[in-house]
Amino acid sequence: MNDDNEPQAPNPWIKSLMIWGGIFMALLLVVTMFGGAGQPASTEIQYSGFRDKVAEGSVEEVQIGPDKITGKLKNGEYFTTVPVATDSKLTELLEEKGVTYSGAARDTMNPLLYILIQSLPFILILGIAFFALRQVQKGGGAGGAMGFGKSKAKLLTERSGKVTFDDVAGIDEAREELEEVVEFLKDPQRFSKLGGQIPKGALLVGSPGTGKTLLARAIAGEAGVPFFTISGSDFVEMFVGVGASRVRDMFEQAKKNAPCIVFIDEIDAVGRHRGNGVGNSNDEREQTLNQLLVEMDGFEANEGIIIVAATNRPDVLDPALLRPGRFDRQVVVPIPDIDGREKILGVHMKKTPLAPDVNARTIARGTPGFSGADLANLVNEAALLAARRNKRLVAMQEFEDAKDKVMMGTERRSMVMTEEEKKMTAYHEAGHALVSLNEPASDPIHKATIIPRGRALGMVMRLPERDNYSYHRDKMHANLAVAMGGRVAEDIIFGHDKVSSGASSDIQYATDLARNMVTKWGMSEKLGPLQYEASQEGYLGMGQTQRTMGGAETNKLIDSEIKALVEGGLKRAEDVLKSQEDKLHLLAQAMLEYETLTGDEINQLMETGKMDRPDQPTGTGTVKPVSGSTIPKAGKKFGGSGGATPQGA
C-alpha cells in the first residue's frame, strides 16, 4: 500500500545545487555592490567650486564624463562633481591652465545583473513565504511547524516487512478471534445479513513478548486494508489539548481510508484510570482519553474503522475504555504451552540450518514459561554460538548452551574465586539439590553448577515435567525447604559463625512465597482463607502492596505466620541434610570436580555413588566422599550463591 499523495523528498543533488547557486548569487551581489571599494576616496564638490580651483591652478588632471567629472588636485586629493551642460568653455579653461583632461565612458551594468539586484529583496521575501507555506502544508507530519496537533500514526506498507498468520504460532485461540475480524473486513455481507455488526475494537492482553504486536502486524498483512500504527505515548505531550487534537486527526485520516485498522500499541500510556494524580500532565492525559472514548463510540459512528490495541497492564485501564462498543473483544495472548512452544520454535528455525540431532519437541519441553520472544532469542543465541564455534550447522549442543545462557546467565569464567569460596558455593548448591531430591513435590533438577552465572556464584535449576497452571500447598512447602537448603548446608559443614550472605536471594524468595501463602492464598490455619494484601496501581504507575484488612494484632499474626512457614522450611531442610550428610559431601565433591552436573548425573550419583561421564578420568568412576574435617574454613562471601525458584535456583 503506497501513499500516492505523500510528497516525494527532493533529490539531494538538486538541493545541493540550489544551495551553491544561492551562495554564488550572494557573493556576486556583494562584489557588485562593493566592487569600487579599492578606488581612492574622493570629495564631492560643487561645479562652481571646481571651476574656481581650475582657475587657481590647483587642478592637476580631470576625466570628463557624460554625468560625472572626476579629478585630482595638485596636493594629491581626489574630487568628483556633476557637470553643467551649458558650460561649453570648460575645455578652453582647462587648456589655458594646463590641466590634463580626458573623456570618460558612461558607467554601464549588465541589464540582467541590474534586474537581479533590484529584484533580490522580493525574491528573498517570496522564498521565506514559500518555506512557511510548505511547513503549514506538511503540518500533518511530525516535523511540520504547525504539526503539534497532527497525528503521528504511520501507514504500514508492505515495504515494512509483510507478516501473515502463518508467521504466528503457539497462540491459536487469539489468532482465530482476529482471523474473524479480517474475514469481516474482506466479506462484511456474510455477517451483516444475519444482523451482525463489525467489531469496533479488539484489545490484545498478554505478558511482554507473547506476540501482541506480531499479531497486529499479521492482521495488516492478511486484511489487505490500510493499517495505521501508533504508540500510546505518541498522543501525550506537555501542552494541554495536543493529545486530543492528535486523536481527532488520527480518526480523520482513518475515515478517509475506511475500511481500515488502527493499531495503538501500549495503550495503557494514555488509557489509565481517570482521576489519579494531579497536575497539567494528568489533565492532558485525561483530555486525550476523553477524546479517544468519544471517537471510538460517541454520537458520530466511525463505520469501517477497527481499533486494535495492545497492553500488558489491563488492570490499569479505565473501565469506560473496556466496555463493549469500544473494545468489543478482549483477546488474551497467553504464554504458550509445550505444543505452542514447539510450533513457535518451528517458525524461528526455518531460517536456521539445523543439525540432524536437533529436536524442537525436546527444546520445548525444557523451556517452560518461555514466551515467543524468549524462544526467538533462544534460537538466535544458538545460531550465534554455532557461528563463534565455526560450525556450518546449529546442533543440539548449541541449543542446550543457549538455553543455559538465557535461563541462568552468561558464564563468568574470568571471575577468580578462592578455593574456600568454591567449596562453600559447592556445599551451598549441593544443599539445594539434595533437599530437592528428597522432596516429592519438588520439580526435578535440570542442572547444578558452581560456575558463576549472571549475578549468582552458583545455581541449581529445576524444571517442571509439564506445564503448571497453579501451585499446590505441598509444592509450596517443598519450595520453601529447597530454598533454605543452601543456608542449612553452610551451617552444618562450616559452622554457625561461617554462614555467608550467599542465601540472600533464597531468603527473599522464601519470604515472598510465605507472605503470598498467608495474605493472598489463604493457606494459614490461624488466619483462614481471607485476602489481607492486594497490589494497587500507585501514582505514576508505581506498583504498591498494602494491607486491605485487619488491625495491629492481625498484622502481628500475619508476620508470625510468615516466619513460621519459612522456619518450617528451614526445619525440613535440616532434617534431610543432617540425616544424609554423607551424600551432601559426595555431591559437593562431584561439583568441585566437574563444576556442572546434569539432573540425571546427580540422580545416578545419589543412587549408586558412581557417575558415568565421557570426560571422566580413568578409574571406576566413583567420587570419593570428603571428610568434614578436611574442609577449610570459608572466607568472606560476596554476592549470592543462587537461590531456589519454581524455574531455577
What proportion of the chain, given as a percentage, has pLDDT over 70?
75
Q: Answer whether residue 444 shows pLDDT above 80.
A: yes
On whether the CB atoms of residues 321 and 352 are closer than 8 A, the answer is: no
Q: In the chain, how long is the greatest CA-to-CA distance?
A: 141
- Strands 329-332, 543-547: pairing is unpaired
Point out the annotated binding site: 206-213, 428, 432, 506
The confidence band for 13, taking pLDDT boundaries of 50, 70 and 90, is low
Name, in order, each residue with C-beta under 8 angstroms of 285's C-beta and a sequence gap of 6 or more: 236, 243, 270, 272
Higher per-residue pLDDT: 486 or 408: 486
- CA-CA distance, 624 to 11, in Å (whole number)? 78
Average pLDDT over residues 170-198: 77
* Average pLDDT score, the chain: 77
The phi, psi pair for 595, rounded to 5°, reads: 70, -40
Q: Cα 47 to the chain's mean position, in Å?
A: 83
* Amino acid residing at 393: L
The x, y and z cell numbers of residue 509, run together, are: 524468595
Q: What is the pLDDT of residues 348-360, one digit of tens each?
A: 898 899 999 998 8
Within 542-625, strands assigned E span: 543-547, 596-598
CA distance 483 to 644: 5
Q: Per the residue annotation, which of 429, 439, 490, 574 is the catalytic one?
A: 429
Which residues 6+ apart lie within 8 Å of 42 measured at CB?
70, 78, 79, 80
Q: What is the pLDDT of residues 259-280, one digit of tens each?
A: 788 888 888 888 888 775 544 4
Is the pLDDT at 485 greater than 90? The verdict is yes
Rounded to whole angstroms, the Cα distance separating 60 from 77 reads: 10
Q: Which residues pair with 255 in a beta bridge?
A: none
Joined together, the cell numbers standing for residue 309 give 490495541
Q: Average pLDDT for residues 435-451, to the nearest whole number?
A: 88
Question: What pLDDT was estimated at residue 158?
Answer: 52
Catalytic residue flag (residue 429): yes
The pLDDT assigned to 139 comes to 46
Contacts of 19 (CB under 8 A, 6+ apart): none
Q: Which CATH architecture has domain 422-630?
A: Up-down Bundle (1.20)
Confidence of residue 563 (pLDDT cuts 50, 70, 90): very high
Helix or strand (DSSP H, E) at 78 = strand 78-81
Q: What are the residues whose beta carbons fall under 8 Å from the beta carbon of 147, sequence distance 6 or more?
A: 138, 139, 140, 141
List, in order, residues 6 or more apart from 205 with CB less than 8 Å away.
212, 310, 311, 312, 314, 330, 331, 332, 333
Q: 3-class DSSP state for residue 216?
A: helix
List the single range of 103-112, 241-250, 400-409 with lowest mean pLDDT.
Answer: 103-112
User: What does the alpha-carbon distance between residue 342 and residue 169 come to, in Å, rounded to a whole number?
Assistant: 9
pLDDT score, position 53: 86
Among 107-111, 373-377, 494-498, the least confident range? 107-111
Domain 154-332, CATH among 2.40.50.1040, 2.40.30.10, 3.40.50.300, 2.40.240.10: 3.40.50.300
Q: Residue 622 gets which letter from DSSP?
A: B
CA pair distance 134, 102, nearest whole angstrom: 57
Domain with CATH 1.10.8.60 in the chain: 338-408
Number of alpha carbons in the 13 Å side-chain half-sphere of residue 185: 23
Coil, strand or helix: which one is 617? coil
Q: Give the least confident one: 221-235, 294-308, 493-507.
A: 294-308
Q: How confident is the model at residue 167 (pLDDT cuts 50, 70, 90)?
A: confident
Distance of CA 178 to the CA centre of its chain: 25
DSSP-derived secondary structure for 375-427: HHHHHHHHHHHHHHTT-SSB-HHHHHHHHHHHHH--B-TTS---HHHHHHHHH
The more confident residue out of 210 and 560 is 560
Q: Distance between CA 594 and CA 623 in Å, rounded?
A: 11
Report in angstroms the alpha-carbon separations of 479 from 255, 372, 513, 569.
56, 27, 9, 8
> Of 79-83, 188-192, 265-269, 611-615, which range is least confident?
611-615
The model carries a pTM of 0.62
Q: Report phi then psi at 533, rounded to 5.
A: -135, 150
* Whether the predicted pLDDT of 224 surpasses 50: yes
**Helices marked H in 138-211 — which ranges?**
172-186, 189-192
Domain at 338-408, CATH from 1.10.8.60, 1.20.1740.10, 1.10.760.10, 3.40.50.10150: 1.10.8.60
Q: What is the DSSP letter of 535?
A: E
pLDDT in tens, 510-552: 999 999 999 988 888 888 888 887 765 443 334 456 666 667 8
Query: Pick from 511, 377, 382, 454: which is nearest to 648 by CA?
Result: 454
Cα distance between residue 426 and residue 416, in whole Å: 15
Residues 6+ apart with CB under 8 A from 558: 518, 519, 527, 532, 547, 550
Q: With cut-offs at 50, 70 and 90, classify the pLDDT of residue 50.
A: confident
Per-residue pLDDT tens over the stretch 278-308: 444 457 778 888 888 888 876 666 677 888 8
Which of the 8 DSSP states describes residue 211?
Answer: S
- Report how far apart the first and last C-alpha atoms of the chain are (Å, whole number): 50
DSSP state of 267: G
Question: Which residues of the chain form CATH 3.30.720.210?
Answer: 39-103
The pLDDT tens digits of the residues spanning 619-635 come to: 334 443 333 323 322 33
Distance CA 355, CA 378 (A): 16
C-alpha cell, 545? 502492596
Indicate where the chain has its CATH 1.20.58.760 domain(s): 422-630
The C-alpha atoms of residue 556 and residue 630 are separated, in whole angstroms, by: 45
CATH of 39-103, one of 2.40.50.140, 3.30.720.210, 3.40.50.720, 2.60.40.10: 3.30.720.210
What pLDDT does 488 receive? 93
Check if the beta carbon of residue 115 is closer than 8 Å to that of residue 104: no
Query: pLDDT tens, 64-102?
Result: 887 788 888 888 888 888 888 777 788 888 888 888 888
SS3 301: coil
Q: Of 22-31, 302-311, 329-338, which range is least confident?
A: 22-31
What is the rounded radius of gyration, in angstroms, for the C-alpha atoms of the chain? 42
503 φ, ψ (degrees, to nearest 5): -95, 15
| Local confidence band at 215 (pLDDT 50, 70, 90 cut-offs) | confident
Bridge partners for 202 per DSSP:
308, 329
By the 8 A CB rule, do 462 and 446 touch? yes
Contact predicate 164/221, CB 8 Å: yes
Q: Which of these ranges, 45-49, 234-238, 444-448, has the smallest mean pLDDT?
A: 234-238
pLDDT of residue 355: 92
Concatenate the DSSP letters of all residues of 333-371 into one string. -PPP-HHHHHHHHHHHGGGS-B-TT--HHHHHHT-TT--
Ranges for all domains in the chain classified under CATH 3.40.50.300: 154-332
How confident is the model over 398-421, as a mean pLDDT?
80
Q: Is 225 helix (H, G, I), strand (E, B) or coil?
A: coil
Question: Is the alpha carbon torsion for 620, 623, 627, 633 positive or negative?
Answer: positive
Torsion on CA atoms 147, 153, 157, 160, rounded to nearest 10: 100
**Measured CA distances, 102 to 13, 44, 61, 71, 139 (Å):** 52, 19, 8, 10, 65
Q: Which residues of 171-184 are buried (b: 16+ CB within 10 A; e: fewer)?
A: beebbebbeebbeb
